Amino acid sequence: MKTMVSSVSKKHKISNLLVYILLIFICVVWLMPFVYLIFQAFRGESRGMVSYILPKEWSLANFKILFNETNFVNWYLNTVIIALFTAFFQTVIVLSVSYTLSRLRFRGRRLLMNMILVLEMFPGFLSMIAVYFILKLIGFTGPGSVPGLILVYIGSSGMGYYVAKGFFDTIPRSLDEAARIDGASRARVFYKIILPMAKPIIIYTVMMAFIAPWGDYMFASLITFGYEEAYNVAVGLFTFLDREHINNYFTVFCAGGLLVALPITVLFMMLQKYYVEGVTGGAVKG
Amino acid sequence: MLNRDLLEFYKLNGLQKAFYKILWFITAIPKTTVNLFKKIFYSVKGFILKTFSVFRNIVRIFKEGDIYTRISYFIMGFGQFFRKQPLRGILFLVFQLVFTLYMLLFGVNHIGKLDNLGDVAAVTVINEYGLEVIEYKDNSLQILLYGVLTLFFCLGFIYTWYVNVKQNWVAQNLIAKGSKPKNAVEDIHSLADEQYHKTLLTLPLAGILVFTVIPLLFMVLVAFTNYDYTHLPPSKLFTWVGLDNFKSLLGVQVADGKFAFTFGEILVWTLIWAFFATFTNYFLGILVAMLINKKGIRFKKGFRTLLIFTIAVPQFVSLLLISKMLADDGAINGILFQLGLIKENIKWLTDPILARVTVILVNIWLGIPYTMLIATGILINIPADLYESARIDGASGIKRFTKITMPYMLFVTGPYLLTTFVGNINNFNVIYLLTGGAPKTTDFTGGAGYTDLLITWLYKLTLTDNDYKMAAVIGIMTFVVVAGISLVVYNLSPSVKNEESFQ
Amino acid sequence: MASVVLNGVKKIYKGGFTAVKNFDLEIKDKEFVVFVGPSGCGKSTTLRMIAGLEEISEGKIYIDGKCVNDTEPKDRDIAMVFQNYALYPHMSVYENMAFGLVLRRVNKEEIHRRVLEAAEILGISDLLGRTPRALSGGQRQRVAIGRAIVRVPRVFLMDEPLSNLDAKLRNQMRTEIMLLREKIDTTFVYVTHDQTEAMTLGDRIVIMKDGYIQQVGTPREVFEAPANTFVAGFIGSPPMNFFKAGITGGKEKPYLSICGTEIPVSKKVLENINLPEDKKVLLGIRPEHIYIASGEGISGEIKVSEMMGSELHVHLITEDGTNVVVRVPTLELSEKDKSLLLPHNTVNFSLREQALHFFDTKTGMNINKTSSYQ
Alpha carbon distance, N-terminus to C-terminus of chain A? 50
Yes or no, beta carbons of C88 and A180 under 8 Å apart: no
- B265 close to B352: Cβ distance less than 8 angstroms: no
Is pLDDT at C373 greater than 60 in this prediction?
Answer: no
Yes or no, beta carbons of C103 and A175 under 8 Å apart: no
- B392 close to B400: Cβ distance less than 8 angstroms: no
Lowest mean pLDDT among B344-358, B471-485, C210-224, C306-320: B344-358
Yes or no, beta carbons of A174 and C86 under 8 Å apart: yes
Is pLDDT at B499 greater than 50 in this prediction?
Answer: no
Residue C110 has what pLDDT? 92
Of A177, A183, A184, the CB nearest to C86: A177
Residue C275 has what pLDDT? 82
Question: What percent of chain C has a predicted confidence (pLDDT) above 90?
Answer: 47
Nearest CA in chain A to C155: A181
Minimal C-alpha gap between C65 and chain A (Å):
20
Is pLDDT at B486 greater than 90 in this prediction?
Answer: no
Which residues of chain B make contact with A116, given a CB cutoff of 8 A? 208
Which residues of chain C make contact with A185, given a CB cutoff of 8 A? 74
Nearest CA in chain B to A222: B463
Is pLDDT at B495 greater than 50 in this prediction?
Answer: no
Nearest CA in chain B to A102: B197
Which residues of chain A make contact with B414, given a CB cutoff of 8 A? 286
Name the pairing type of β-strands C78-81 and C155-159: parallel
**pLDDT per residue over C274-304, tens digit each?**
888 888 889 999 999 998 876 778 888 999 9
Minimal C-alpha gap between C228 and chain A (Å):
35
Residue A151 has what pLDDT? 93
Is pLDDT at B89 greater than 80 in this prediction?
Answer: yes
Nearest CA in chain B to A95: B200
Is pLDDT at B90 greater than 80 in this prediction?
Answer: yes
CB atoms under 10 Å from CB of A245, counted, come to 16
Yes or no, beta carbons of A177 and C80 under 8 Å apart: yes
Instruction: Identify the band that residue B503 occupies on the pLDDT scale cut at 50, 70 and 90.
Output: very low
Yes or no, beta carbons of B317 and A37 under 8 Å apart: yes
The distance of Cα B264 from the centroid of its chain, to the nearest Å, equals: 20
Local structure of B301: helix, strand or coil = helix
Residue A286 has what pLDDT? 37
Which residues of chain C make contact with A191, given a CB cutoff of 8 A? none
Minimal C-alpha gap between A84 and chain B (Å):
17
Question: What percent of chain B has a predicted confidence (pLDDT) above 70?
Answer: 97
Which residues of chain A make contact with B303, given a CB cutoff of 8 A? 23, 27
Is pLDDT at B295 greater than 80 in this prediction?
Answer: no
Minimal C-alpha gap between C59 and chain A (Å):
22
Greater confidence (A196 vs B111) lies with A196
Nearest to C132 by CA among C140, C122, C124, C144: C140
C contact set with A (CB within 8 A):
51-53, 72-74, 78-80, 82-84, 86-90, 99-100, 103-104, 147, 151
With contact defined as 3+ CB pairs under 8 Å, the chains touching C are A
Average the pLDDT over B428-437 and give the result. Answer: 88
Of C73, C84, C89, the CB nearest to A181: C73
Minimal C-alpha gap between B129 and chain A (Å):
30
Of C74, C83, C84, the CB nearest to A181: C74
- C285 close to C236: Cβ distance less than 8 angstroms: no
**pLDDT per residue over A38-95, tens digit each?**
888 888 877 777 777 788 888 888 888 888 888 899 999 999 999 999 999 999 999 9
- A131 close to B215: Cβ distance less than 8 angstroms: yes
Task: Return d(Cα B385, Cα B393) in angstroms, integer.
Answer: 12
Of A172, A183, A196, the CB nearest to C74: A183
Yes or no, beta carbons of C86 and A184 under 8 Å apart: no
Average the pLDDT over B419-427 and give the result. Answer: 89
**pLDDT per residue over C16-62, tens digit each?**
889 999 899 999 999 999 999 999 899 999 999 999 999 999 999 99
Of A177, A182, A196, the CB nearest to C53: A177
Minimal C-alpha gap between B15 and chain A (Å):
32
Greater confidence (B396 vs C98) lies with C98
Nearest CA in chain B to A13: B296
Residue A162 has what pLDDT? 87
DSSP state of B438: P
Minimal C-alpha gap between C103 and chain A (Å):
6
Residue C119 has what pLDDT? 92
Average the pLDDT over B252-281 and give the result. Answer: 87
Average the pLDDT over B435-454 and give the result. Answer: 82
3-class SS string, chain A: CHHHHHHHHHHHHHHHHHHHHHHHHHHHHHHHHHHHHHHHHCECCCCCCCCCCCCCCECCHHHHHHHHHCCHHHHHHHHHHHHHHHHHHHHHHHHHHHHHHHHCCCCCHHHHHHHHHHHCCCCHHHHHHHHHHHHHHHCCCHHHHHHHHHHHHHHCHHHCCHHHHHHHHCCCHHHHHHHHHHCCCHHHHHHHHHHHHCHHHHHHHHHHHHHHHHHCCHHHHHHCCCCHHHCCHHHHHHHHCCCCCHHHHHHHHHHHHHHHHHHHHHHHHHCHHHHHHHHHHHHHHC
Of A97, A186, A215, the CB nearest to B314: A215
Is pLDDT at B256 greater than 60 in this prediction?
Answer: yes
Of C73, C90, C104, the CB nearest to A180: C73
Q: What type of residue is B496?
A: V
Instruction: List chain A residues with pLDDT less than 70.
Output: 1-8, 281-286
Residue B496 has what pLDDT? 43
- C347 close to C339: Cβ distance less than 8 angstroms: no
- Let me know how long chain B is: 503
Residues 133-172 of B with CB under 8 A from A: 141, 145
Residue B70 has what pLDDT? 82
Q: How many CB pairs under 8 A join A and C?
A: 54
Task: Return d(Cα B463, Cα B471) in angstroms, integer.
Answer: 10
Which residues of chain B make contact with A254, given a CB cutoff of 8 A? 321
ipTM of the complex: 0.87
Minimal C-alpha gap between B43 and chain A (Å):
12
Of A156, A188, A264, the CB nearest to B211: A156
Residue B120 has what pLDDT? 74
Which residues of chain B make contact with A33, given a CB cutoff of 8 A? 318, 321-322, 325
Nearest to B279 by CA among B352, B363, B358, B356: B363
Q: Is A197 on the interface with C (CB under 8 A)?
A: yes
Is pLDDT at C115 greater than 90 in this prediction?
Answer: yes
Which residues of chain A make contact with C52, given a CB cutoff of 8 A? 181
Is pLDDT at B434 greater than 60 in this prediction?
Answer: yes
Q: Is B274 on the interface with A (CB under 8 A)?
A: no
Residue C205 has what pLDDT? 95
Nearest CA in chain A to B197: A100
Is pLDDT at B502 greater than 60 in this prediction?
Answer: no
- Going across the sheet that includes C261-264, the strands are C261-264, C254-258, C241-249, C280-285, C357-359
CB atoms under 10 Å from CB of B71, counted, come to 15
Beta bridge partners of residue C327, listed in sequence order: C313
Of C52, C72, C89, the CB nearest to A197: C89
Residue B1 has what pLDDT? 47
Which of A106, A182, A185 is the best substitution to test chain C (most C C-beta atoms within 10 A)? A182
Residue B216 has what pLDDT? 93
